[in-house]
Structure 1
């Protein structure tokens, strides 16, 4: 009874003139194995004789007899290996979702049960219908070819069965050198004899089912699809296990001449070839004629799905590129770059990464929303998100597509990564580096209330680097950025909240330049080029070029209570055989004391509530630091919660100093000068809110009491009420209380005499020591005295009396 399409293929495959026998079981039966061995043994002698006859001219020339040639042919050849068949590698997100594929040949190896039985029948019908009946060499086909070969004196026909075709594909696919490739392609008796010899050895080594499986997985099916699984996905967008008769016949027909029968480029020839396969299956009785005819009337129905190799089309292209470069540069994956590239593109790796797709989407939306890919100002933005306590990179985005820089809106440079993982030389970090000076000060035990004078300009002298060399720049006074303040004293807390440059220069000198640098190094900081951090007084102002991913990892250590982990993108890698490959770890260690980290968190939390990024919090415990690079050449924000840390950079890839972000207008929106809180902090806020949605909030730990030995650092002194006093008296009283004073515009006042203090700004009862209090003097009242009852102004007039006020005098140097 013939097998009908769709029967599932569990019935027999009848051969004309013979009783049907089952040949597609999961494994060959014991009886079949015995028959195969007997057949192979019988064919061994015949094969030897046949091959000896085929190579007789060569053998005679070399003085080798027919019997010796037959013995040589039947022996196991050296160097016979079936490994090394290229398979594609996949990069997966943390949830197992594919984000990229890499391949030298687009191939997905599947077991025999993963291939529809009807597809196996179709291939056997057109390529080797007697595959399960003959040994390594089909004597009928070989004898037919032998006649032609003997008459021509060379090998012109091979009568190749599936085993021989598998050998041919194997030798060609695994050829590494050009010489091996030429040997696998050459048309010569030597190549044919070698293939036949390998075929005999493989028939001894593997059962028929396994050889068929290997053949179906190695064959080329045209249009870049290698193996039946990749071909099925490419042409029909379905796995090979779901192929129907028409689809199976089409793929089976392509194998003989994949470039001529490719259904995408040559649909007419592909259909003719498909119909040939259907007729052959009917001739063999494997399908009935009516089914073959009905199927042949169907048009070719393709649903092409291209498989792209690499990161360009990935949903997370720059993270994907980071992973790719990790594999291509790490000696864990091979001793040489060539070995590592071969492993990635041919090794069938499954690479499970740390990527959180929700965080990735949130970051990409935030970055693209504030700095569009093709923005009119040509600015760029990048962000990296790292999990505290693990170092796992959860997101990595750039406001560009991965591609050639000559095309607007594209770049090959990963601005979020170091040079080794993205070709970026890094960007100056600005005031985000002040956090390391703060941490160094707290590590030395300085309490929050420690106060230092922050002058309006600062001459950097008296610093020494870690080699004891004097470092300074006495000729160039350093000043406060436009988003900072100066000219008064600040505590560790308020100096950080207001990001005062001269305060941190003074604090760095007090702590020590070397100690500040060492603190940054403990937290994984180095230049994006891989070089050590340079050591100069302006270190605390962030002149070193770094990458967002390293800065995010450093700030993540604060969120993890001092536990630093190197940023990692790969969790696990398995090869094509399922064996796990060791991957680089995060190397987590306690870099700074928990108490110190808790104190840093206490101070940096205020940046979002009282400092330069006020109003940009998350509605949950969070901390961070703005960074504005001098001349507005770039801007940063680095912030974190106990669950996630992130660093955002915004700048100009053409050069920040050449194209500063001052008076910036971008796509119709103007910002004036761009600070860390102008664009980077809102990006950080939006991306963090999206990434942490539905994630329970954890609090920071309260710092130990010794950090509060001089108060909270935020304590405000009581401002004396000097209203009604003369200016000189008011100024003296305010200075005695630790405040500065200036005189503003006068105001009308019916309460205080002209020339005395009528109003004070700010009007709060407390203020930070060193704050300036603005005094407004009374101009008196414009109200006129009431008119008298007909008198001439004498005796009992009843009007307001004007009190004479002496001239106002100010202390020397008093600001007006």
Structure 2
């Protein structure tokens, strides 16, 4: 009777009524407890369970740079799913030999193994011994892998009749659904091989540094032996036990005549031959840790990747994703070297630096660097906060942007068709009254705002020279002329908002940059100028495919033309001069480039934002402990002293070194010349030319030509200040030619050539860059709630 039953089970493969009866007899107490009688067991086992899901096996996800190189790996279980033909045949035979040599002969139930355990199970009243074959083992591993909670994991591993019934029923269903080869493939991909390696591919790479397709006999036997008790036979921590177990597998393979005894004995004499290669999960070990963290947070926080935070985390750590990003390794290396060189991670002053780089016209983030390691700030030189990103992508509350915000007022003025030669009086002190925000409310202050250094006020500046010298009072006057709301709207069109996600606050000192923002947003805004007014949201992810190769939807850059091309060209024209004759002169990179310095009130932080038509970057330098508590006045850092730190002192050199490295080997792209209408009142750069007013015409022409300027004579003008025959005024043509206007005299000639605030004296031709003006606090009684660099 017993032999006949074994033959019947073998022939039916566990799929028929007799298999159900066998199971019901073996597990009768549990079956009855589940409400299943022995007479119904066969039919119940033949029905496929409604809750059988074989699709959700955790696989590791990879983040790749634009060139395909690995940035980081994420996993709940370190697993790489492979096809059966990607696993060496000798490895398949080794696993079958020791785990289920009759796998291709029996069905879901191995009758011999089941009946062998029957006596023990019936005696104890519960499942104490298993005759589990490969299919049943796959089911057990599947249920463990799919468990999300500790309770589910315990239920999947408990020693009970109820669990065994569930596994056997699933096994029957799987034998109907899949071929033997497919079940073996799934088993080899899900089994645990110890030391954090799940699946034979990950195990082969982990222990031997090679794919499973290249496994040799001794290696295959070692891995096959680990499966039964992964912790006890772990070859790294228990090499003697692992070797002994390996040799058991080899003997078994020889007994089955799957290998000859000589080969088994030769393999048994070999050492373990481990070449351990660890795969670490997360961004901490990445070569671009803060960019990696930005990508991770994009997936974990964006609803497009899942309705709940749990679903998004599950997708990243279990979904087997291939995440192709925008990161350019050359740019990233250049940025990291630059920030680390100028602001070392463990510097004596406790300062920090962050930089973000964005490609104009695409919004692609090409680099993101912080002069810290990613980790707990309890350790010196580490931080979990990404100072280059917004709060949603790095926990940073942002930093006040300083005078880098003046570019939005400049762009608003040019957008209203103001020519370069537009001149405004920049007093030494400015009382910001007469402003209205975008809701029409009056905003202002009776406290006078001043410039950063003596000599910067008390005279007129043009759009060009006011920007080059970054004069606070000039931009306050310009902002009032164009309207505070127009300036704010310009910044918003270019993607600016506070780093905490809230709208920009609107006060007269808006143009002086009191709003806390992130480098990545500022870089994207400046990139729009390089792209001739085309703004793109900064993006880090280009494509995501899941474990099955299906492409997932990812957020796009949503590029839009937000600024007239000619206006953007005009902004570029003005900002180019900042690098040649303005606050950042001497920081040119040997190709067309433009930028703007920024120094925050009381030297609490410093910025530089600059760009070419190919790449834009924003650099912040400050103190994570709080910029106002630890200002950069008389700064000494690792033996180097700077005095007061302006935007040109440290941030601009970081930008310079980064751009030089990032663009090395790439052809230079020129800017487009701005439309002629912006030159209708001259180039605005009269300060460059020697002041020849009051000089005889011939002498004036000679002086200009000696200084390298082209000059010609314009229409004579009436002048009460300069005598007839002398130069009374100067202007600049669209092509840069200086036009001299000779005096026809007046009623009260005044031959004194000393310039007044109406006709500003030219700045010195040499010497250090003029100091950058830092913004005051915003509005009466509105202290900065989050000083630069403070952390939540």
The bucket for the TM-score relative to the shorter chain is: 0.7 to 0.9
Distance 1:320 1:483, change over 3 A: farther
**Cα separation, 2, equivalents of 1:415 and 1:422:** 7
Are 2:206 and 2:279, in contact at CA under 8 Å, matched by a contact in 1?
yes
What's the counterpart of residue 704 of structure 1? 675
* Residues 107-144 of structure 1: CA deviation (Å, up to 9, x unaligned): 11111111111111110010001111111111111111
Deviation at 1:391, TM superposition (A): 0.3
CA distance in 1, matches of 2:280, 2:544: 21
SS of 1:697's equivalent?
coil
State yes or no: 1:771 paired with 2:761: yes
Mapped partners of 2:104, 2:443: distance in 1: 83
Aligned counterparts of 1:596 and 1:171: Cα–Cα separation in 2:
62
Tell me the equivalent position of 2:700. Answer: none
The equivalent residue for 1:720 is 694
Q: Secondary structure at 1:490's aligned position in 2?
A: strand
Q: How far apart are 1:721 and its partner, in Å?
A: 4.4
- Within a 5 Å distance, the mapping from 1:287-686 to structure 2 comes to 287-474=259-446, 476-482=447-453, 485-686=456-657
Residues 429 and 545 in structure 1, CA contact (< 8 A), matched pair in contact too: yes
Counterpart for residue 691 of structure 1: 662
Q: Deviation per CA, 1:159-207: give whole Å up to 9, x if none.
A: 1100000011111111224443232112111111111111111011000
Moved more, 528-537 or 143-152: 143-152
Deviation at 1:655, TM superposition (A): 1.0
Q: 1:12 aligns to what?
A: none
Residue by residue over 1:628-663, the C-alpha shift from the partner in whole angstroms, topping out at 9 and shown as x without a partner, is 112111111000000000000111111111111111
C-alpha contact (below 8 Å) 2:527/2:611 kept by paired residues: yes
- In the TM superposition, residue 618 of structure 1 has moved relative to its aligned partner by 1.3
Q: Is the 8 A contact 1:36 1:135 kept in 2?
A: no
1:445/1:247 CA distance change after superposition, 3 Å: same
The one of 190, 210, 215 aligned to 1:218: 190
Shift of 1:61: 7.2
Contact 2:358 2:364 in 1 (8 A): yes
Deviates further, 67-76 or 507-516:
67-76
Aligned-pair distance for 1:738?
7.6
Deviations 1:721-748 (A, max 9, x none): 49xxxxxxxx976999589xxxxxxxxx
Contact kept, 8 Å, 2:635 with 2:642, in 1: the verdict is yes
CA contact (8 A) 1:483 1:675 kept: no
Contact 2:404 2:597 (8 Å CA) reproduced: yes
**What is the SS of the residue equivalent to 2:409?**
helix
SS at match of 2:283: coil
Asked if the contact 1:484/1:498 (under 8 Å) is kept, the reply is: no
Paired with 1:92 and 1:707, the residues of 2 have a C-alpha distance of: 45
Give the drift of 1:519. Answer: 0.4
- After TM superposition, the structure 1 = structure 2 runs for residues 32-431 of structure 1, keeping only pairs within 5 Å, are 39-40=11-12, 44-58=16-30, 65-431=37-403
Q: Find the residue that maps to 1:648 and give its secondary structure.
A: strand
How far apart are residue 563 of structure 1 and its match? 0.4
Shift of 1:335: 0.3
Shift of 1:46: 3.4
Distance 1:445 1:209, change over 3 A: same
* Distance of 2:326 and 2:37 partners within structure 1: 64
Residue of structure 2 in register with 1:29 after alignment: none
Are the equivalent residues in 2 in contact too, given 1:565–1:586 (CA < 8 A)?
A: yes
Matched residues, number: 708
Say if 1:483 and 1:521 are closer, same or farther in 2 by CA, change over 3 A: farther
CA shift digits 1:493-552 (9 cap, x unpaired): 000011111100100011101100000000000010111111111111111110000000
CA-CA distance at 1:42 after TM superposition? 7.3
Report the Cα offset of residue 693 of structure 1.
1.1
Q: CA contact under 8 A between 2:139 and 2:167: conserved in structure 1? A: yes
Deviation at 1:337, TM superposition (A): 0.5
Contact 1:664 1:673 in 2 (8 A): yes
Instruction: Evaluate the alpha carbon distance shift between residue 771 and residue 42 of structure 1 in structure 2; reply closer, same or farther with a 3 A threshold.
Output: closer
Residue 291 of structure 1: how far off its partner (Å): 1.2
CA–CA separation in structure 2 for the residues paired with 1:379 and 1:43: 70
Q: Secondary structure at the match of 1:486?
A: coil
Matched residues in 1 for 2:462 and 2:298: separation? Answer: 43
Q: For residues 284 and 502 of structure 1, do their structure 2 counterparts lie closer, same or farther at Cα, with a shift above 3 Å needed?
A: same
Conservation of the 8 A alpha-carbon contact between 1:483 and 1:498 = no
Q: 1:407 is paired with a residue of what secondary structure?
A: coil
Instruction: Tell me if structure 1 keeps the 8 A contact 2:9–2:111.
Output: no
Change (3 A) 1:773 1:88: closer
CA distance in 2, matches of 1:706, 1:525: 28
Distance 1:209 1:633 in 2: 66
Counterparts of 2:645 and 2:395 in 1: how far apart (Å)?
A: 26
SS of the residue 2:506 aligns to: coil
Kindly state the Cα deviation for residue 57 of structure 1 after the two structures are TM-superposed: 3.8
- 3-state SS of 1:155 partner: coil
TM-superposed CA distance for 1:66, in Å, is 3.0
Which runs of no fewer than 5 residues in structure 1 stay unpaired? 1-34, 723-730, 740-758, 775-816
The gaps in structure 2 that reach 5 residues or longer are: 1-6, 697-719, 731-751, 765-792
For residues 35 and 677 of structure 2, the distance between their equivalents in structure 1, rounded to whole angstroms, comes to: 97
1:565 & 1:641 partners in 2: Cα distance? 16
Larger radius of gyration: 1
Q: Distance in 1 between matches of 2:283 and 2:537?
A: 23
Asked if the contact 1:221/1:231 (under 8 Å) is kept, the reply is yes
Higher mean displacement: 242-251 or 351-360: 242-251
Task: Tell me how large the CA RMSD over aligned residues is.
Answer: 2.4
Q: Which has the higher contact order (CA 8 A, sep 6+)?
A: 2
CA shift at 1:256, angstroms?
A: 0.3
Asked if the contact 1:738–1:770 (Cα under 8 Å) also holds between the matched residues in 2, the reply is no
Q: Judging changes above 3 Å, is the alpha-carbon distance between structure 1 residues 40 and 640 closer, same or farther for their aligned structure 2 residues?
A: farther
Contact kept, 8 Å, 2:402 with 2:512, in 1: the verdict is yes
